[in-house]
Amino acid sequence: MSDKRKHLVKNGVIATAWLVIVMLVFNTMLTTFGSTLINYMGIGTVTAGGDAEVMTEEETLAEGREVNTELESEGAVLLRNENNALPLEKGSKVTILGAMSYNYVNGGTGSAGGKYDEYTYTMKEAFDGSKTEGEGVSTEQYLDVNEKAWNWLEEAVGGERNADTTGEYVGHTGTGEETTFTGSDYAENKDAYGDGDWGGYKRVNEFSKSVYENHKDDFMADGYNDTVIVTFGRSGAEGTSPVMDYDGDGKASTGTTYLQLSEDEKDLLKFCAENYSKTIVLINSSAAMELGEIEQEEYGVDACLWIGHPGEAGLVGVAQILTGEVNPSGHLVDTYAYDMSTMPSFYNNDDNKYTNVESITTGFDKSSNFGYYQYEEGIYVGYRFYETADAEGYFDSEAFTSHEWKNGTASGYDEVVQYPFGYGLSYTTFSQEVTDSDVSLEAHGTNSISVKVTNTGDVAGKQVVQLYMEAPYDQDDSLGIKGTGLQKSAKVLMGFQKTGLIEPGESETVTIEFDTDDLASFDTYGTGVYVLEKGDYKFHIGENAHEDATDPVETSLADTIVYDEDGVGARDSDEQVARTSLGDVDAGDGNMLDGYLNRSDFAGGMETIMQHESSCKEEALSDNAVAALAVPAKGSTDYTYETYENGEKVTKTVKKYVGGASYLAYSDEENWEGLTQDDERYLYDDANEDHAIEYGKTYYVVVDDDGNAVQDEDGNYQVTEEETSMRLDIDAPILADLDYDNEVWAYLLDQTTLEEQIAVAGGLGWQTPAVESVNKEQEAVVDGPGESGNGNNSYGTNTWWSSAVVNASTWNPYLMEKLGEAYAHQSIKNGLSGAYAPAMNTHRTPFGGRNFEYFSEDGFIGGKMGAAEVTGLQSSGVSVYIKHMAMNDNDTNRDGNITWFSEQAAREIYLKDYEICVKELFVVDEANETGTFVDGENVLGIMGSLNRDGISMFHQGLYQTILRGEWGFNGLVITDGVGPYPWVMTPGAGLFGGVEGQLGGSAVTAYYDQEGDATSTNYGKYLLRNCTKHMLYQNARSATSAASTDNSAWKTWMVAGDVAFGVAIVAVVATCIAIPVVRSRKDARAKVTISGE
C-alpha cells in the first residue's frame, strides 16, 4: 500500500472514530438531559386512561376562553364608582390612552408565564369586537373605541406590542430622568433566562404629559371626548421582586416604590381630567398598590376597576363589566393600604444579606446567596395586622400619629387602609341577615351559620358572604408566653360562600359550616399543641374584614380545649397530635424569639421593627449558625437555641445532619445520624412492618374465572408468584382505589430494582421516569400556573389564564374547579400527564416577585381556591404538584435564603394553603353551579422551595412530621427546579429531610453514589423505596394512570441522529475501502498503458 493510501485509510479510521465518539456523546447528552428537553420539546401524545377526557385543540381553546373570561368577569374588583360612572351604555364611545393600555400585562413571567398568540386579545379587540385572528373568538362589540386614538397609541409604543423602541415618545425613570422606552422595558416579553436576573421589573412605563399635550390633535376626535379609559400596569417575575427603592434614594420607607403611581401616571390622570368628562382607571396589577391618588379631586378619577392580570381573554370579561352585561362581584384578597410602610412586614422583605457569611466554607461559590428574611411580624400579616392594630388602638396612638407617612400624618383606620381585605363594590346593593345559627364550639364538632342575602338594588348581582372569627385574647395564663399570652388576630377569615345571581328584590340563603377544631390556634410557647382558648367568641358576617354586614353571632367557651392526649386528642383532620416541630426556626438567629410583634405591645414592637430597613446589610449571622453551616462534610452538628415551653424560656440542643455542601436537614433525637443509619427496622416495608423488602420479584393478582381480582373475606386482594391474567403492575385496575397502607403496594415495590428506585428519585425533572419492572412509562410534567406547557411552542396553543389573584378574587371555588378541568383538558391534549401548579404561597407583602401566581395574603382562602383547582385537575386526569412549600414568599436571593419565622404563623397562615389542599376535596353541585368541601385525600404532589427553613434546607419537622405525620400526606415531594448541583442541595439531604425527588436538568444517579449513604445503608435504601412508592401511588390514583407515551421528541432525535451517524460512518468506511481500490485499479490501468507505449 502506498503512503497516500495509508494516509487515507488512517484519516478514515480517525474520522470513523470521531463519528462514533460524537454519536456516543450525542446519545449520552440526550439521555442525560432528556427530562430537561421534555420541558422544551414535549414527550409525544397521551392515551388517556381512567376517567380522563380527550378533547380536540379547538374544543379545549373554546372551553379555555370561556373559563378565562368568566374568571375575570367574576374576579375583577370595582374599587371606585363615583356618581354611578359605571356601567357605560353598551356601544358608548370611548378613548383608550396609556402605554400600558396597549401593552397591558397578561400575566407574570417565569414558570407561571404564558404565551401571547393569535387568541390573545388587545384591549381594543376585546372592547369593540374587532378581533379577526383566532377561530371562535368573541367579536361582540361592547364599546365604540376611538380608532384614531388607538392608532396613535399603537404608533407611540413602537407599532406593535413590546416594540424595540418608542422613538420620540418619552417618559421618566424613577429618578426623574427622561427616557425613551424599548420593548424590553415593557412587562410582557422579558428575556426570562437571559442573564438569570429577571430584574427588568424596575420601571413604570408611561409617557410624559408633554407627549399627550403635544399630540392631542393626533388622538382626540369628535364624539370621543366624554369617556377615557387608562390602564396602570405592573408585572411580576420569578427570580426577582418589585423594586422597593424606585427613586434610588437608598430608603424604601421614605421614597417611592414600583407599586405606587409614577409622576407620569399621575400627570396622565391630570391630562384626562382636563380633557375628558369621565375617567375610568383599570389597575392591571396582581400586586396590591398604593392608590390614594384615585380618590383625590385633582386627578378626577370617576371609576376604578382592578383587573389584575387578565390572561389572554380576560379583557372580554372586563368589557362585560364596563358595560353592565356582568355586575362586578369580585372582592379583594389583599389589603390595600395608603402607605405600605405602615405594615410591619415591609421592613424585612427585600435584599437582606448577612455580613459574615463569606468565611463559611460551603464547597461552592454561592456564599453570596446567604440572604435572609425575618418574619418579625409573627401572625400579624395583611388584614390580621391592620384589624388587630385597629382593635388595639395603635392607629390612634401617639406612636403612630407622630410619624410622617407618605400621605402625610395619618390617624385612625380609615386614613391607613384604603381598601380592606374582602372589599368590593357592585352595581346593586345587598342586605344580609343571620336567620339561623348553631355555634356550640364542641371539640370535634361542626358549627353553622345561615345568612339570608337580599338584593335591595335595581340590577341582578352576586354577593360574597364572608365569615370572620373574633377570638378571645389572653384569657388563659397557661397559654403562650407568661405575661403576653397566646397571640390572636382580631379577625380571622373562617368561611365564605358566594351566592348565585340574585334578581332585584329576591333573596338567597346560604349556610356556612365550620369545624370547631379548625378554629384552634397553635400554642408554640405554652402547651406546644393546638388549643381553643376559653372566653367570648364573636362570629362576624362581614362586608369585608373591617365592616360588618349584620350583628355578630356570639358564644362563650368555659374551658380551654387542648388538642393532645391529655385533652381531647388530635384534631379530627390530623393523623396524630400536632406538636411543636419547628422550634429551631421559630427561635430565629438568637434575636427573634422575643422579637415577634406582640399584641400586648403593638407600639413598642412596631418601633423596633421600623428601625430596620429592607435591603439590610448590617447584621451578622450568629456564631452558632455559622458554625453549623460551616461543617464541611457529611455528618452531624449540635445546634443550640432558645425557646419557650409552658410559657418559660428554656435552652434546647438538637442535632442537624449535614448532607454535603452545608445543606442541613433538621434531625430529631431518634435519627440524628441521618442516612448513615443501618438499623434492621429499615429492611421492612414502611406500611407493613412484617413485610421484608425485596428486589426484582414478579407478582400477579389472583383472579377468578372471569378475570376479576379475588378478595378474601376481609376484602384483601391476593397476590401470587404464579402467572395469572392480571400482572401486578401500574396498570392493574386494583391500584386506583387501593389504600396507601395496603400490602399490595409492598409486593408492587418488591418488583422494582434499586437502580430503578435511584433513577426515580434522581429523575423527577419535568417528568415521572419510566419504571420498566412495573410497566410504568415515562410521562411529562411541565409548569405551570399560568398556562399548560408554560407558553412553550412545543405544546401547541393553549389558554393563558388570568392570574391566581384574579381567580381567588372571584371567591368562587366552583369556577376554580372548572379552571382545573379546563387546564387538564389542555394538558392531556398536549401529551402532559402532570403540572407544576397551582402555586400556593402567601402574599406576605405586596413585594413578592411571584405574587401574581399566589392566591392571597390569607392562607384560608388560598387553600380553598387551590383545593378546588387541584380537584378539577386531578379528577380530569392530570397529576398535580402544588408549590413551593414553603415560605417562598419573596424571590430576591431565594436560593438557600435563610428564613426565620414563628411556627404559629407558619401553621395558621403560610402552611394553611397546603394543609387544606392535602386534606379537602371539592365536590361539585353542577345543577346549582356551586359545590361543597369535604374531608378526603386530595393533592398527591408537592414541590418544595429553594429557601431554607432557618438554616435547614430540608427540615424534617416540616416535610416529615407536619406534612406526612400530622396531615397524612401520601404523595410525592420534589425539589424546585434546581438540577443536581451541590450548591443548591444534595440528594441525600433531600431524601433524609423529606424532599425526596430531584427536579433537575440531568440524571443524578451519580450523586447518590458519591454520597454513598443513600445507596449503602438500610435507611437510605428504605427512603429510596418510599420515594418510588409515592410516585407510583400518585400515578395510579390519577385518571391518566393508564396513560402512555407514543414517543418522546428527544428519543426521536436520538434515533434520527444515530441513523445519520450510522450512514456517515458507513459512508466513511466505504470511502476508505472504495477509494484505495479504485485508485489501485486506476494505477494498474495506467501502468498497462505506459507499458504498451
C-alpha span between 1040 and 51 (Å, rounded): 7
Residue 922: give its domain's CATH number. Answer: 3.20.20.300
Question: Do 17 and 100 fall into the same domain?
Answer: no
Question: Do 689 and 710 fall into the same domain?
Answer: no
- Asked if 307 contacts 282 with a C-beta cutoff of 8 angstroms, the reply is yes
Query: Is 342 among the domain residues?
Result: no
| Cell representation of residue 811 | 371567591
Residue 482: give its domain's CATH number. Answer: 2.60.40.10
Distance of CA 588 to CAs 615, 899, 900, Å? Answer: 18, 8, 5
Question: Do 739 and 768 fall into the same domain?
Answer: no
Query: Residue 869: CA atoms inside 13 Å, Cβ hemisphere, count?
Result: 33
pLDDT of 1050-1071, one tens digit each?
A: 444 444 555 555 555 555 555 5
Those residues with Cβ within 8 angstroms of residue 2's Cβ, 6 or more apart along the chain or in another chain: none
Residue type, 939: V
Question: Do 766 and 852 fall into the same domain?
Answer: yes
Axis crossing angle, helix 34-41 with helix 1049-1092, rounded to the nearest 10: 100
Number of Cβ within 10 Å of residue 770's Cβ equals 17
Distance of CA 943 to CAs 594, 765, 836, 998, Å? Answer: 32, 11, 8, 10
Cross-strand bridge partners of residue 496: 466
Axis crossing angle, helix 859-875 with helix 813-829, rounded to the nearest 10: 40
Number of Cβ within 10 Å of residue 1066's Cβ equals 12
Question: Do 906 and 1013 fall into the same domain?
Answer: yes
DSSP letter (8 states) at residue 461: B
Of 308, 304, 326, 303, the closest CA to residue 76 belongs to 308
**What is the SS3 string spanning 104-148?**
CCCCCECCCCCCCCCCCCCHHHHHHCCCCCCCCCCCCCCCEECHH
Query: Is 64 among the domain residues?
Result: no
pLDDT value for 236: 86
**Helix, strand, or coil here: 1024?**
helix
| Cell representation of residue 789 | 406547557
Bridging pattern class, strands 430-438 and 635-645: unpaired
C-alpha span between 947 and 127 (Å, rounded): 43
C-alpha span between 399 and 857 (Å, rounded): 26
Query: Is 690 among the domain residues?
Result: yes
| Residue appearing with cell numbers 378581533 | 131
Question: Do 649 and 743 fall into the same domain?
Answer: no
Distance of CA 148 to CAs 94, 215, 403, Å? Answer: 11, 12, 48
| Cell representation of residue 820 | 382545573
Where a domain ends, among 523, 555, 579?
579
| Cell representation of residue 702 | 389472583
Phi and psi at residue 467, to the nearest 5°: -115, 120
Q: Which helix (H) or strand (E) holds 651?
A: strand 648-658
- Asked if 1020 contacts 1028 with a C-beta cutoff of 8 angstroms, the reply is no
> Where are any strands of DSSP class E within 690-784?
700-701, 719-720, 767-768, 779-783
Question: Do 1031 and 921 fall into the same domain?
Answer: yes
DSSP letter (8 states) at residue 478: T
Of 584, 579, 555, 557, the closest CA to residue 569 belongs to 579
pLDDT value for 1072: 53
**Helix, strand, or coil here: 295?**
helix
Of 536, 532, 537, the closest CA to residue 561 belongs to 532
- Asked if 97 contacts 230 with a C-beta cutoff of 8 angstroms, the reply is yes
Of 377, 363, 380, 348, the closest CA to residue 893 belongs to 348
Length of the chain: 1093
C-alpha span between 456 and 940 (Å, rounded): 45
**Helix, strand, or coil here: 1075?**
helix
Question: Do 653 and 799 fall into the same domain?
Answer: yes
Question: Do 934 and 964 fall into the same domain?
Answer: yes
Query: Is 42 among the domain residues?
Result: no
The radius of gyration computed from the CA coordinates of the chain, to the nearest angstrom, equals 31
The segments of the chain whose pLDDT lies below 70 read 1-52, 162-169, 174-175, 179-202, 251-254, 358-369, 591, 614, 630-635, 658-673, 978-985, 1001-1014, 1039-1093
The per-residue DSSP string of 299-351 comes to: G---EEEE----TTTHHHHHHHHHTTSS------SS-EES-GGGSGGGGS-S-
DSSP letter (8 states) at residue 712: -
pLDDT value for 648: 93
Query: Is 487 among the domain residues?
Result: yes
CA torsion angle 468 472 473 479 (round to 10): -110
Where a domain ends, among 543, 559, 579?
579
**What is the total count of domains within the chain?**
5
Cross-strand bridge partners of residue 920: 935
| Cell representation of residue 165 | 423602541
pLDDT value for 458: 97
Distance of CA 236 to CAs 40, 73, 259, 753, Å? Answer: 23, 22, 11, 44
| Residue appearing with cell numbers 453549623 | 628
Question: Do 744 and 808 fall into the same domain?
Answer: no
CA 237 distance to own-chain centroid: 12
| Cell representation of residue 961 | 412530621
Exposed / middle / buried, residue 672 (Cβ in 10 Å: 0-12, 13-18, 19+)? middle
pLDDT value for 166: 55
- Asked if 770 contacts 778 with a C-beta cutoff of 8 angstroms, the reply is yes
DSSP letter (8 states) at residue 14: H
Query: Is 881 among the domain residues?
Result: yes
CA 872 distance to own-chain centroid: 17
**Helix, strand, or coil here: 538?**
strand
Those residues with Cβ within 8 angstroms of residue 1012's Cβ, 6 or more apart along the chain or in another chain: none
Cross-strand bridge partners of residue 466: 496, 542
- Asked if 577 contacts 531 with a C-beta cutoff of 8 angstroms, the reply is no
Query: Is 490 among the domain residues?
Result: yes
Range of the structural domain that residue 543 is part of: 367-579
- Asked if 90 contacts 325 with a C-beta cutoff of 8 angstroms, the reply is yes
DSSP letter (8 states) at residue 292: G
The per-residue DSSP string of 23-36 comes to: HHHHHHHHHHTHHH
Question: Do 1032 and 1069 fall into the same domain?
Answer: no
Question: Do 865 and 971 fall into the same domain?
Answer: yes
Of 884, 822, 821, 810, the closest CA to residue 853 belongs to 884
Q: Which helix (H) or strand (E) holds 638?
A: strand 635-645
C-alpha span between 940 and 931 (Å, rounded): 21
Query: Is 933 among the domain residues?
Result: yes
Where a domain ends, among 328, 347, 380?
328
